[in-house]
Structure formats: C-alpha cells, structure tokens
Structure 1
C-alpha cells in the first residue's frame, strides 16, 4: 500500500490540473463554492462561473448581503439551481453563526445548508488540511478497479466502499490528504468511466481489475436523460427569468411561445414542451422555492 500511495501521489504532483481553487492560500469559502459547483458538473463549465462568483463575492458575507435572485442569476447554466439556493443559505448562516468564516470541522460543516458527508469531508480536507476520508464518484471508481477488480463501482454508494476507503488511506495526515485529491484526479483524468487510459496509469501493475483480465461491468450504466425532460424545461424557464428584471406573467409561459420575440422565450419554444409539461415545470420551480408567483407574475425570489 505504501508503494501505491507513493506512486499515485507522485503522479498527481506531476500531472495535476492547475485549478484556481487548489492554489495555495485559497480560502475555505473558495473551496466551498467550488465543491457546490462541481457537484454533477464538469470542471470546464464550472471554472469561469467560479472565477466570476469569487470576483463578485469573495467572502460569504458578500453573498449573504445579496438577494437570492442574484445568486440564481450568477449560477447561470450550471444546472441544478437548488445548489445556488443552498449555497446562498449557507453563506447567510456562515455570516450569522460563524462570523463569516467557513467552519473547519466536518461536524460543523454538515450543519450548513447543502453540505452533506462528501462536501463536508472535501472542504475540511482541501481547505483546512483536516484528516478526512473523501469519497466521490471518481474515487469510488478507482478503488473499485484498483482494489476490487470491478470495472465500475456499484450504482449507489455502499457502506463497504467507505470502509475500504478508510482502510486504504495512508496513516500520515499530510500523505492522506494528498491521497484524497490524487485518487480523485486519477479518476477524473486517467481511470475514467468510459475510456480508461490504463497504459498511463501509475499503478497499472497493482490494479486488480487489470490482473483479472479487465472484466466487463456487471451492470449497464444509465446516463441521466436531459432532452425532453422536465429538467430541461425548468432550465429554460429559469433562463427566461434570469434575463427579465420584471416579473413574467404566468400565462406567457403557458401561451403560444412561437409569438414571443425574446431569445430566451424562443429557446423555450423550440423545446416544443406540451402545456402540461410547462405547467408541471413551473409548479416544481415554485415548490422548490426557485421562483415566486404573485399578482405581478413569476419572478426569481428576492
């Protein structure tokens, strides 16, 4: 195990991407924002939004002072806008309960809106050097192949995976923290889900999956649908509201969108979403607190 630790950590030192939230001196808030944005969203889409976000709101109290609508607008097309809502709520709590400083421990981090087991462990480790066990999708996949001889991890995380992650982690805290990010990066760049570059892997000779003959996955991964889904329609409605300072009458979303001239309405119309789907998408956005529908019309929450 010590040899595996050394090889993967050395590989990371030589091959890690230069991402702004990994640079020396970044704040806990900078790391926290990156972890929220990176949930189910690739780095290439996150980085420009993160950079603009940190320019505008370099501290939690800066975001907390703004209405939620501004956070939702700045979130742009990252998707899953409830993350923006929860990050805004977390900024308020950090400002009021922690004097504007992101907590350092997993226990306290988990009390914040939108912060689960993984996010708490990642922030504590990457921002504050706390000894934690970080387990994301990339790490689960590397562990499944390297130690479990499986092409892919189970569809849903299991307790046994977290137990294995604790078992294989280096004893030294500094080495363990580097291991967390190194394995994650290996999964993102080399040990990918669809096209692993095994010939470039620093632990090729140790990999249980390679030794087993690279058996096929024991299930067929199901990609998350987007085209034609309620999520796509919700995103198109949010895009309209981000572009309008004034509320939009509910009837406008439910009418014949082909007559609308605004580019965002045209984009929504091109989806050809039936009336009942647009009604369902609007109802979901209202239920989630991402929009408000009052006498003036539909708008982002203030």
Structure 2
C-alpha cells in the first residue's frame, strides 16, 4: 500500500477550508451537532444553522431541557428532520448518562440515539483527538480511486475502516489530519463528477489515474426525485407546523393545497410513525 499520509498532511495544512468545526477550542458538542447536520446536507447550508443551533443550545443539557418540538422547528429546511429528533434524544442521553458531557469512547457514542460508525468515530477523532479510522462518502471515493483503480466506490463495508486504518500514522494528531484530509480531498478535488487531478497531492500514487481513468461503473443508490414525492409532502406539513405560533394546527389546515389527498394522508401517517408530529382530536402538532 502506498504511503499517502505525508502528502495528504502537507496538502491539508495548506489547503483546508476554514470551517467552524475546525476552529481551535470548538466543543465536542459542537462537533456532534455538526456531524448530525452534515449527514446528506452540503456544508454551506449547514454553517448558518449550526451557528444558530449552538447559540440557542450551547450544551447537550440545554437542548435536553427543551421540548423535542423546539428541535424539530429549529432544524428548519436542513432536510431529513428525524435527525433533529435523534439529536434531541441523544442530548437527553448525554445529560442523563454522561453528566452532560459528550462521551469520548466510541462504544459510548454508538450507544446514543442516531449515532452510527461514522459519527461515533468522527467525534472521537475530531473532538478528542483519538486515533480511529473515519470514513465518509468522500473518503470512500478517494480510497476507491487511489488504491483500487475504480471510478466510484462500491457499497459501504467494514472493510473501508480497515483500509483507512492501514493508512493512518501512529501519531494521533497526524492520524486525525489524515482522516480530515481524505474527506477534504474527496469534497473539493477528487469529486464524483469532475475530479481535479492536476490539483491532487496523491495523483502520483493513484491507481485510477495510472489506469487512464477507466469507467468502472457506479453502483451508488440513486435518490428518488423530490418534486412531487412523499418527502416533499412531509416537508410541507412540517414547514406549516414549524411556522404555526404554537407549532400546532387543525389537520385540515395543514398542507391543504396538496392535490393528492392520499399522499397527504400517507405523509401525515409516516410523520406520526417517525415521532416527528403528534395527532390528536383532529389536530397536528410538533412533538412535546
């Protein structure tokens, strides 16, 4: 396996974007919130929401003391609003199990609501400086191209963590930089559709480049169209409830402009099932 750590570290130190969660002294809670928000949401949309969230709830205990409805409302248009509900539940768990301090151990982080392998390791590495492999979609694309000569990565697997772990230096600080650098490289240089290979610090060791950039196929799952979807209907219902003065409205007044009544009813049922809204006596409201 080629040594990619040194060029990645040098490149990252000179080219890393100035992002809030990379600032010295940024809290572990801030890191956790940012990781929740960054799941399937672009960085530029996350930054203002993150600032507003941390101003309102600077600690897990502050969020845990507020109602779930406040979290869902504050989530606004970030999408995938179950993340807001999960983040609120995780804050309650941090308050009750860990004295209000975001845990450091990956095992403890994995036991929190809404946290999987990636988020647990990201918090342990980027908030606490521990040595673990951290693999997101961007990292997987970099590894697939540089090491396997594939144009796009395959389905996520536990092998991704083992591959990334083999690239990490023993030094904890340098290992954290390599994790961040691989993600950053995939986000801004080794992009899915228009990679800028001339700007890549590991182009000299890239198996895909050496093979003349073959198209090896793309097995990534495609997201269904949003326009006209049940997701859009769910978003319209949540938006109406977020903007209502008490976060509740008569059911017939919510998303009444939707032409497809069956879709509207499906959306309401699914939101209730997810715990994102409550239905009672013909009234819909955000969770209390």
How far does residue 57 in structure 1 lie from its aligned partner after superposition?
Answer: 0.6
- Give the 5 Å matches for 1:81-160: 81-154=81-154, 156-160=155-159
Q: Which residue of 2 aligns with 1:300?
A: 286
Q: 1:135-183 deviations in whole A, cap 9, x for unaligned?
A: 11000000000101000000x2123322212222222222111100011
- Give the 5 Å matches for 1:182-261: 182-219=181-218, 221-224=220-223, 225-246=225-246, 247-253=248-254, 257=256
Report the TM-score when normalising by structure 1.
0.91
CA contact 1:124–1:130 (8 Å) conserved in 2 = yes
Q: 1:223-281 deviations in whole A, cap 9, x for unaligned?
A: 41211111111011100000012421112337xx3xxxxxxxxxxx3xx5411111100
Q: Which residue of 2 aligns with 1:172?
A: 171
Mapped partners of 2:37, 2:78: distance in 1: 7
Q: Does 1:62 align with 2:62?
A: yes
Q: Mark the CA change 1:12 to 1:273 in structure 2 (over 3 Å): closer, same or farther.
A: farther
Mapped partners of 1:18, 1:273: distance in 2: 45
Q: 1:25-51 deviations in whole A, cap 9, x for unaligned?
A: 111100000000000000011000000
Long gaps (5+) in structure 2: none
Report the TM-score when normalising by structure 2.
0.95
CA contact 1:140–1:153 (8 Å) conserved in 2 = yes
Mapped partners of 1:243, 1:213: distance in 2: 53
Mapped partners of 1:273, 1:206: distance in 2: 55
CA contact 1:228–1:273 (8 Å) conserved in 2 = no
Q: Which residue of 1 aligns with 2:264?
A: 278
Mapped partners of 2:218, 2:109: distance in 1: 35
CA contact 1:72–1:85 (8 Å) conserved in 2 = yes
Mapped partners of 1:39, 1:219: distance in 2: 21
Q: Which residue of 2 aligns with 1:5?
A: 5
SS of the residue 1:108 aligns to:
helix
How far does residue 296 in structure 1 lie from its aligned partner after superposition?
Answer: 5.8
- Give the 5 Å matches for 1:37-56: 37-56=37-56
CA RMSD after TM alignment: 1.5
Q: Which residue of 2 aligns with 1:75?
A: 75
Mapped partners of 2:187, 2:135: distance in 1: 13
Mapped partners of 1:188, 1:134: distance in 2: 15
Mapped partners of 2:96, 2:65: distance in 1: 11
